[in-house]
Amino acid sequence: MESNVWSAEHAYYFHQGTDFRAYEYLGSHSYPTNDGYNVVFRTWAPRADAIYVTGDFNGWRDVNPMRR
Q: How far is CA 43 from CA 33, 34, 48, in A?
A: 22, 26, 11
The answer to whether the CB of 25 falls within 8 A of the CB of 11 is no
Q: What average pLDDT score do residues 48-61 get?
A: 94
Question: pLDDT value at position 56?
Answer: 96
The amino acid at residue 40 is: V
Rounded Cα gap, residues 20 and 23, in angstroms: 8
Dihedral over alpha carbons 16, 44, 23, 6 (to 10 degrees) = 70
Average pLDDT, the chain: 87
Task: Tell me the whole-structure pTM to 2 decimals.
Answer: 0.65
Res. 2 pLDDT band, cuts 50 70 90: very low
**pLDDT tens digits along 15-45:** 999 988 888 889 889 989 999 998 888 898 9
